[in-house]
Structure 1
């Protein structure tokens, strides 16, 4: 019950933030829509998940800090006489397999100014039935089980830092809402991710 309530609150907050309207009518619409989604697609229906109040508070504080830092960074770019953006798309492979965790991470990234999750997909390595190189994501029938988020950044900088920030966010989400399997998964080393090939040498949009 607590998991469903927190999911409704989170989805309602996402609805209000995306619309940019905190009016009672819009908030009520978000709550009704979130309740319907949770009713149709209950969290934890396939994998046991739990809510850990202390970890939820830590996640909230960490995310609030990330929002402040991101807002200041975007504001600094806006007030500069000449805006210097380094836009790009970075692949962020997660370690946990839970769709709930992926949804939390993807939405949290989108709510952070300067970043936007543009795609979520599995990643295949080589031929079907082959094992990936050591350190890569686990493969089942040629498809990686944990999802890969493709994140658009206004200022990429170091793609590895973007991935590290994504994995840090995943850790907070898993500790707050993840299943025992998810918490075990994030103990694994970060996945090795080969850079996408493109003429500029930077990561780009997935094909």
Structure 2
């Protein structure tokens, strides 16, 4: 058995024991057996989880996420209660810089957790994600949503990505500003 699977087996065993509500030798052994069976029968594909942590950039990522979260919550609430008809929504495609599964998923999650946008699909092999955005009423709003998603990916890459990814993301962000 691969040594990488041991933490997964331990975590699944802990969950199993918590679900049963008591720690007993039978529950722990049963959890180990079921967890081992699950890991062997349903193996996950290998995922590259390497990341470089930049603490200051992580603070920027979290701070901006919280700001976006609060602002978008008010915008969505206003859209729900205002007397006008709701804006036309849109599905947009966003090309990603990172080829890291971890960074792509983090980018998609950060974008999707902000009200007004929802991750529909993430194509990790081709570096694309599709988002449903609440306000896609004009081409300008669609492009603004796309730029916002790319900026969020840039902050994720700045916090966790490689130097090469950060340089590529910075170059794309400059293109977005000049466009």
Per-residue CA deviation, residues 146-176 of structure 1 (Å, 9 max, x unaligned), is 5111000111242211111111101110111
Structure 1 residue aligned with 2:134: 154
Equivalent of 2:105 in 103, 106, 115: 103
Per-residue CA deviation, residues 7-32 of structure 1 (Å, 9 max, x unaligned), is xxxxxxxxxxxxxxxxxx9xxxxxxx
Matched-pair contact (CA < 8 Å) for 1:74–1:113? yes
Are residues 41 and 55 of structure 1, via their aligned partners in 2, closer, same or farther at CA, if it must alter by over 3 Å? farther
Runs of at least 5 residues in structure 2 that lack an aligned partner in the other structure: 1-18, 20-43
Matches of 1:98 and 1:42, distance apart in 2: 12
CA apart distance, 1:183 = 1.4
Equivalent of 1:181 in 154, 164, 167: 164
TM-score (norm. length: structure 1): 0.56
Matches of 1:181 and 1:84, distance apart in 2: 41
CA apart distance, 1:181 = 2.7
Q: Which has the higher helix share?
A: 2
Matched-pair contact (CA < 8 Å) for 1:55–1:176? yes
Per-residue CA deviation, residues 44-83 of structure 1 (Å, 9 max, x unaligned), is 54xx421111111110110001101110110101111243
Instruction: Give structure 1 regions of 4+ aligned residues with deviation exceeding 6 angstroms.
Output: 40-43
CA apart distance, 1:42 = 8.4
- Pairwise CA RMSD of aligned residues? 3.0
Runs of at least 5 residues in structure 1 that lack an aligned partner in the other structure: 1-24, 26-39, 123-144, 193-207
Larger Cα-atom Rg: 2
SS of residue in 1 equivalent to 2:91: strand
Structure 2 residue aligned with 1:89: 91
Are residues 87 and 165 of structure 1, via their aligned partners in 2, closer, same or farther at CA, if it must alter by over 3 Å? same
Aligned length: 134
Matches of 1:58 and 1:43, distance apart in 2: 26
Are residues 42 and 59 of structure 1, via their aligned partners in 2, closer, same or farther at CA, if it must alter by over 3 Å? farther
